Amino acid sequence: MTNALALLHERRSVKAKDMVEPGPDAAALDAIMRAGHRVPDHGKLGPWRFIVFEGDARIAFGKALAQIYGAVNPEMGPDTAAAQAGLPVRAPLMVAVIFSPSDAKPIPEWEQIMSTGAVCQNMLLAAHAQGYVGQWLTEWMAFEPKVATHLGLKKGERVAGFLYFGTAADNPAERERPDLAMRISHYDG
Ligand SMILES: Cc1cc2nc3c(=O)[nH]c(=O)nc-3n(C[C@H](O)[C@H](O)[C@H](O)COP(=O)(O)O)c2cc1C
């Protein structure tokens, strides 16, 4: 239990660009996915799905991103194109978490969104628990409809995050955190 608490208290992100090999292997990725899949979920809807980008698939996605970015920003120069192509290959492994809402039961979409956020956070924690690091990014590509189309997202689906996983190149510095005490009040009737 102490270790679990330390994990929760110490987790922090490492920038995808500061990640190196090794990334999670098949067993570690499976543990990450199972942790992500086990979240509070009103109505047992499981309103999420995953797209895994491993190895050369990251390169292929990077090429698609550069093309899409160029289509949306016709003034794009070669440096910018190369930067977009490099986004998915910053880290050894990337997993897109797709919010996939269900109307099978009268569960508010807001609750389904929150569950999907919990999926992402559980995945980061599961990576951390296994000695890897992670970062949850959206950037432009999570909001660009042409990327959604390229990834085969259905109507109503959205990218909750592109989660990057790998090994930290350096020990990450702590960042300033919002003040906890300022955010706690006690109901007194
Ligand atoms: C939904 C979501 C989207 C995010 N998207 C970005 C992003 O596009 N770019 C970025 O620099 N950080 C983004 N972040 C923040 C990082 O994931 C991370 O939380 C931040 O670097 C602070 O690190 P920490 O996890 O150690 O607190 C996002 C976080 C969340 C929850």
Q: 42 with 115: CB under 8 angstroms?
A: yes
Phi and psi angles of residue 35, each rounded to the nearest 5 degrees, phi first: -65, -40
In angstroms, how far is the first alpha carbon of the chain from the final one? 34
pLDDT in tens, 98-129: 999 999 999 999 999 999 999 999 999 999 99
Structure tokens belonging to residue 79: 């440096």
Ligand 1 centroid distance, CA of 161 (Å): 9
Return d(Cα 24, Cα 162) in angstroms, integer.
15
Q: Whose CA is nearest to atom 25 of ligand 1?
A: 13
Residues with CB under 6 A from ligand 1: 12-13, 135-139, 161, 175
Is domain 13-54+89-169 in CATH 1.10.357.10, yes or no? Answer: no
Task: For residue 153, report the distance from its CA to the centre of ligand 1, in Å.
Answer: 22
pLDDT score at 1? 56
Ligand 1 atom at minimum distance from 12 CA: 26
**What is the residue with the minimal CA distance to atom 9 of ligand 1?**
137
b/e sequence 167-186, b meaning 16+ C-beta within 10 Å: beeeeeeeeeeeeeeeeeee
| Whole-Å CA distances, 137 to 79, 94, 100, 143 | 21, 10, 18, 11
| Residue-range domain boundaries for the chain | 13-54+89-169
Percentage of residues in the chain having pLDDT higher than 70: 99
Query: Which residue has a Cα nearest atom 5 of ligand 1?
Result: 137
Average pLDDT (93-97) is 98
Percentage of the chain modeled with pLDDT above 90: 97
Q: What is the pLDDT of residues 2-36, one digit of tens each?
A: 699 999 999 999 999 999 999 999 999 999 999 99
Q: Which residue has a Cα nearest atom 7 of ligand 1?
A: 137
**What integer pLDDT is reported at residue 172 of this predicted model?**
86
